[in-house]
Copies of this chain bind each other. A is one copy, B any other.
Amino acid sequence: MKPVKVGLLGLGTVGGGTVNVLKRNSDEISRRAGRQISVVKASTRDLSRERICDIQGIQLVTDPFDVVSDSEIDIVVELIGGETLSKQLVVTAIENGKHVVTANKALIALHGNEIFELASSKGVMVAFEAAVAGGIPIIKAIREGLTGNQVKWLAGIINGTGNFILTEMRDKGRDFADVLAEAQSLGYAEADPTFDVEGIDAAHKLTILAAIAFGIPLQFDRVYTEGITGITQDDVGYAEELGYRIKHLGIARKNSVGIELRVHPTLIPERRLIANVDGVKNAVLVQGDAVGPTLYYGAGAGSEPTASAVVADIVDVVRTMTSDPENRVPHLAFQPDLLHDTPVCGINDIHTAYYLRLTAEDKPGVLADVTRILASHSISIEAIIQKESIEGDLNLPVIILTHSVFEREMNAAIHEIENLSSIEGQVHRIRMETLG
């Protein structure tokens, strides 16, 4: 069969990695795919820039529209990121009848519904394995590997930078700001780390995972998102003392009200496998009703790990280019006319357990007041630690772990606790999941 011709948009870290993998492993890849896959054209902002890949045989152009309108090209691979120009390019590629592979989570999370509809109408595929958890084939696992299941919930470490920071804070007792600075110097974190540490990047990925797990449209604007900037060394230490680790998780779960979509720091039991996923690695834990828990672990970013997912998508597209569109795996796992409009819960309607850290005056009766308030909201306590006060300080930290409750009940209880005259400042809360 004739070679498949690929055009790249972007020839930086992931684009260069994709060229490297396709060239180095061309024998293995064509032994699998049954035909050659060749990158014939790539767009780049700067033609003279130094490359991480060999560009022999690839025509470089500065105008990315040159790629999406090239009649020779079968598959366009979008690796420029962002959501404005990338969207125009992807839409144009689809309109020109080209299949698209993209690593762009923001593009899919924000504009996927529209893009997939257009792609379906044009009979082309848009593949996006590389958009979530880098090289881990998590989209494929959920969309094709677990088709027999009702997904109950999923929870993922889907931002490597955040996981690196929390791992360093625990392993080495370092502070957030200190580790963030190191992550930036190592290239794990961007100069503007907001997307990573505030959870926006994770929220993009969670949006995609939830859609394919539950058969709902992409709804990025409904994800509750909380970053890790408020996590202190004290919290990390207390959690450890209680047998927990703090991880920045993206969680999607069906409850009695609707679907919870939330990204926030989370205490999880240290014996869980996912609690031991450290450094920049990613992992996603999926609970299916038939299979039970399954976990997928690997590199969530980087040149060749991401390229690994891009190439897998290219091979998938190659295999189904000639098949009838109605028998292809649907973009969002479920047939597009059979998506459900299950409501996404507001944060007040989520149901979870909590770690609470408060600062109390060192005098009798304070704990009695706090526990009375929790009981009045039907909140059961799993554990409580009252720390020694530090010499000369009249206040002492109190740590409380609760059982699960609707967040609105917890909000009301926290409000009352903060109004106690014996409680100093705010109650610091971190949500807690057993993932059991």
Chain A positions within 8 Å of B, measured between CB atoms, are 1, 17, 21-22, 24-25, 28-29, 31-34, 129, 134-137, 140-141, 144-150, 215, 273, 276-277, 288-299, 304-305, 307-312, 315-316, 318-324, 326-330, 333-335, 338
Contacts and interface: CB of A to CB of B under 8 A. Distances in A.
Contacts of A309: 148, 291
A322 B25 CA distance: 30
27 contacts: A24-B289, A25-B149, A25-B150, A31-B338, A32-B147, A32-B330, A33-B147, A34-B327, A135-B290, A135-B291, A135-B294, A136-B294, A140-B145, A141-B296, A144-B315, A144-B316, A148-B311, A148-B312, A273-B273, A273-B297, A290-B311, A292-B299, A292-B305, A295-B296, A296-B297, A297-B297, A320-B323
Contact of A335 (B31, B292, B304, B326): B31
Chain copies in the assembled complex: 2
B322 A28 contact: no
Contacts of A291: 134-135, 298-299, 304-305, 308-309
B297 A28 contact: no
Contact of A312 (B28, B137, B145, B335): B145
A399 B295 CA distance: 35
Contacts of A334: 31-32
B327 A146 contact: no
Contact of A295 (B215, B298, B323): B298
Residue of A288, A315, A330 most packed against chain B (CB within 10 A): A288
B319 A328 contact: yes
A276 to B, nearest CB: 6
Nearest to A307: B290
A83 to B, nearest CB: 26
A319 to B, nearest CB: 5
Given A322-B323, A333-B32, A141 B141 contact: yes
A148 B310 contact: yes
B149 A145 contact: no
Given A319-B328, A320-B327, A327-B323, A335 B34 contact: yes
A141 to B, nearest CB: 5
Residue of A17, A294, A320, A335 most packed against chain B (CB within 10 A): A294
B294 A296 contact: yes
Contacts of A329: 319
Contact of A305 (B276, B290, B308, B315): B290
A144 B135 contact: no
A-B pairs, 4 with minimum CB distance: A137-B145, A148-B311, A294-B298, A135-B291
A143 to B, nearest CB: 8
Contacts of A328: 319
Nearest to A298: B294
A290 B25 contact: yes
Contacts of A294: 135-137, 296-299
Contacts of A140: 137, 140-141, 144-145
Contact of A148 (B25, B147, B293, B335): B25
Contacts of A146: 137, 308, 312
A39 to B, nearest CB: 13
A215 B292 CA distance: 31
Nearest to A277: B273
Contacts of A312: 144-148
A334 B135 CA distance: 20
Contact of A150 (B28, B149, B293): B28
A99 to B, nearest CB: 14
B296 A296 contact: yes
Contacts of A25: 148-150, 289-290
A144 B317 CA distance: 11
Contacts of A307: 148, 290
A335 to B, nearest CB: 5
A146 B328 CA distance: 20
B28 A149 contact: yes
A137 B141 contact: yes
Given A144-B316, A145-B312, 15 more contacts: A25-B289, A31-B215, A136-B294, A137-B145, A140-B141, A140-B145, A144-B315, A147-B316, A290-B308, A292-B305, A293-B298, A296-B297, A320-B323, A323-B324, A323-B327
